[in-house]
Amino acid sequence: MSNKYSAMRTSLRTAAIMIIFTVVFTAVMAFTYDTTRPAIEASVQEEQMRLINEVLPPDSYDNDLLADVITVAGAQALGPDDVKRVWRARKSGEPVAMILEAAAGDGYAGRIAFIVALRGDGTVIGVRVTNHKETPGLGDYIDPKKDRNKKQPWISQFEGVRWSEVDRAKWAVRKDGGTFDFHTGATISARAMTGAIARAVAFGVERADALFSAESGSKL
C-alpha cells in the first residue's frame, strides 16, 4: 500500500506541476502577444501603405485608405483566392481611385499576387507584384525590383492605359496578338500577369459603383 500511495502522490505532484507550467506558459504567451500586438499591427499597416504608395500618389487622396477598405469574396475575376481586399481612395469625400488586390493563378511557377490602382475613369495608375515564385533571372521581371530595366520596368507599361481605349482582345501580350510587351523566352509570366490585370481592371470598371458605395469593413 505504501508503494501504491507513493506512486499516486508522485503522479499527482507531476500533474500539478504540469498544470502550473501550462497556466504560467499561457499567461506569459498572452502577455507577450498583448505587448507585441500593437508593434506587429503597425508593421503590417506600414507595409501595406508602402505598397499602396508605389501605385497611388499620396497627394491624390485625403481619406484614411487603410480604414476605407472592403473585402470581395468569390470573385474569380480577381483570381483564384476566395477573399480579396479593395481600398477606396477619396478626395473631399468624392471617389478618385481604388486599389484592387488580385492574383494570376497561371504563372510559370503558379500563383502571382499583385495590386492594381485604378482611376474612376478606368485608367490604370500602377501595378505591383506582391508575391510570386517565377524563375529568377527569367520570369521574375514582372516584379520591378527584379527587372533589370530599372529605368522602364516591364510592369510600368500598364500605367496610364485606359480600359475603354484598348479593345478587350488586345489586353494580351504581343505574341498573342495583343498590345503589351513581353521578354523573349519568358512569355508565360507576362501572359499570366497581362490577363490577370485585364480581368481585375474590368471587374473594377464594371463594379465601380458597388465597390465605392459599400460600407467600410463590409464584404461583397
Which residues lie across from 72 on neighbouring strands? Answer: 84
Q: Are residues 83 and 104 in the same domain?
A: yes
Q: Are residues 167 and 206 in the same domain?
A: yes
**Domain count within the chain:** 2
Range of the domain at 37: 1-55
Q: Is residue 135 part of a domain?
A: yes
220 residues of the chain, pLDDT tens digit each: 555 566 666 666 776 677 776 766 666 566 554 555 544 444 545 677 788 999 999 999 999 999 999 999 989 999 987 789 999 999 999 999 999 999 999 999 999 999 999 999 999 999 999 999 999 988 999 999 999 999 999 999 999 999 999 999 999 999 999 999 999 888 999 999 999 999 999 999 999 999 999 999 999 8
150-157 LR contacts (CB < 8 Å, sep 24+): 154/181, 154/182, 154/183, 154/190, 155/127, 155/128, 155/129, 155/193, 157/181
pLDDT value at position 112?
A: 94
Q: Are residues 92 and 104 in the same domain?
A: yes
pLDDT value at position 41?
A: 45
Closest to 48 in 3D by CA, of 40, 120, 9, 182:
40
Question: Which pTM was predicted?
Answer: 0.79
Q: Are residues 131 and 69 in the same domain?
A: yes
pLDDT value at position 39?
A: 46
Placement of cell 508503494 in the chain: 3
Cell numbers describing residue 63: 481619406
- Residue 118 CB neighbour total at 10 angstroms: 28
